Structure 1
Amino acid sequence: MDIGVSVGPYVDRIDALPDSFSFVELAIGEGERPLAVVDADQLADDLTAHGFGAVVHLPYRQPLATPVERIDMATQEYLAEVLETAAAIDATTAVAHPRTRGVGDDTLIQRMTQLSDRGAANDITVCFETLGYAGGLSLDRVGAAAAKADAAICLDVGYAYLEAGTDGIASFIASYGDLVEHLHVHGARHRGDTHISVGSGDVDYSSIGPLLHDVAPTTATIEVFTDNATYLTASAERFEAVYAEPGESTTDTEST
């Protein structure tokens, strides 16, 4: 599994990132880093110069599925532009929020399928994120919708733990683990703190790590909201330590 780090829209932070990470997750598009100011060629050069691959987080403020098909189709067309930009920086994974407004899951599944197909046309796997704790669909609803849409999942470990605990994550993995291609990894506390250093919150990574190892996702992003390289590196090391199989050293699994 490759481990990367999120910088959100702050692409200027790439130069200061530890070279132990395999990729950078970037937030591109409306509300984050507008396409009009994204120089894909320069961004690709910067990533390559530091030996980083790329994952792109798609815009998430506009719901993916609404009662108005014309709005949904405009959203799809815009996200297609973002995916084309993602392809131009050689991203192979994109994260999307399966948000809805005023419609049932049938419409959402259609929109997820359409977006997945648009990603595939650019050789990008679109992973739909679990955000129940943050006001999104519950774990089970995301899993069921992704299964029906034949789509991939981004399991946000911190949010999933606050939503359903270790047992809930285990149940989710038992049902939908084969769809989990990407992880968001961060510490969190029940009092509401999220995206803090791994190991500094309530998330029981020592119990969750072996469950994730069995899933064997392709990539994991350290989604800790800081530009402090020490905290980012320590979070990755702590996650690697609990992700390793029993008796397996972290250096055996290290891919960063």
Structure 2
Amino acid sequence: MDIGLTVGDSVDRLEATAGDFAFAELSIGESAYNPSETDDTRLQNALADTDANPCVHLPFDQVVATQVPQLNDAIVDYLGELLSWAGTIDAQKAVLHGTMRDPHDTDQRPTFARQLSAIADAGEEAGVEVVVENVGHQARGLPLSVLGEIAQENGIPVCLDVGHAYMEDGDDGIERFLKEYADLVSHLHVHDVRSRGDTHLPIGAGEIEYEQLAEYLPRFDGTVAVEVFTDDSPLLRDTARRISEHLDSTA
């Protein structure tokens, strides 16, 4: 298990904080780190200080599927270009939000599945594993159980954002998902929340019962990204220690 740190689009944050972690997860594309507009030399030097290949996060605002075939083709092409670039920095994983223009339109879910598979294929061609992240608490996010079903049917690994799952359906929702789909989880986003807000607190400062992860993810050998909105290194390291203890508790 490698424990890393999400750094948003900030090379400054990567340089300041990621040295304490095995890898950094960098947000790329629209409204983030744009490879086509940026000299990669500084990024490459910053990444060299971590112990494992980086991860990337594909554009937050880009839905995976719409009702317009031409737009869907363009989405796959655009994300494919970003994945090709991610391959040049030896990214191990690319996180993709599980979103569509209308997640409640059940007739469009097969389109989402086809889009997801095409994007995953583009990642495989670039040498990057695409993992689909649950954002069912957001307006365009597929419900957690639906995302798990589609991912399972199409052989797509999952980035389980524990905080997002809690905001959508509480600790019970996390447990239900892990009972059914724990084997799909390749990547974790870990943080804590209060009152169902997307607050990205250090683990232990909020309401999530992280102890339940140990039952369903024993000896987890995937990647874990600490997604806490602070540059306070001791707090970041404390969350890393806590998640390590939870996931190692049955080893």
Q: TM-score scaled to structure 2, two decimals?
A: 0.91
Q: How far does residue 58 in structure 1 lie from its aligned partner after superposition? A: 0.2
Q: Tell me: CA distance 1:192–1:105, structure 2 relative to 1, closer, same or farther (3 Å).
A: same
**Tell me, which stretches of 5 or more residues in structure 2 are unaligned?**
none
Q: How far does residue 162 in structure 1 lie from its aligned partner after superposition? A: 2.5
Matches within 5 A, 1:1-256: 1-17=1-17, 19-102=19-102, 104-135=108-139, 136-213=141-218, 216-246=220-250
- The SS at the match of 2:150 is helix
Cα RMSD of the aligned pairs, angstroms, is 1.8
- Quote the Cα distance in structure 2 between the aligned partners of 1:177 and 1:41: 38
Contact 1:157–1:185, Cα closer than 8 Å, also in 2: yes
Q: How far does residue 210 in structure 1 lie from its aligned partner after superposition? A: 3.2
**Deviations 1:8-44 (CA, angstroms, capped at 9, x unpaired):** 0011222222533110000010121223233334422
The higher relative CO (CA closer than 8 Å, separation ≥ 6) is in 1
Contact 2:5–2:18, Cα closer than 8 Å, also in 1: no
Q: Which amino acid aligns with 1:82?
A: L
Contact 2:228–2:236, Cα closer than 8 Å, also in 1: yes
- Quote the Cα distance in structure 1 between the aligned partners of 2:74 and 2:42: 28
Q: TM-score scaled to structure 1, two decimals?
A: 0.90
Aligned length: 246
Q: How far does residue 51 in structure 1 lie from its aligned partner after superposition? A: 3.5
Contact 1:41–1:88, Cα closer than 8 Å, also in 2: no
Show the counterpart of 1:254.
Answer: none
**Tell me, which stretches of 5 or more residues in structure 1 are unaligned?**
249-256
Following superposition, which runs of at least 4 residues in structure 1 exceed 4 angstroms of deviation? none
- Quote the Cα distance in structure 2 between the aligned partners of 1:199 and 1:2: 20
Contact 1:23–1:52, Cα closer than 8 Å, also in 2: yes
Tell me the percent identity: 38
Contact 2:95–2:131, Cα closer than 8 Å, also in 1: yes
- Quote the Cα distance in structure 2 between the aligned partners of 1:24 and 1:97: 18
- Quote the Cα distance in structure 2 between the aligned partners of 1:123 and 1:63: 22
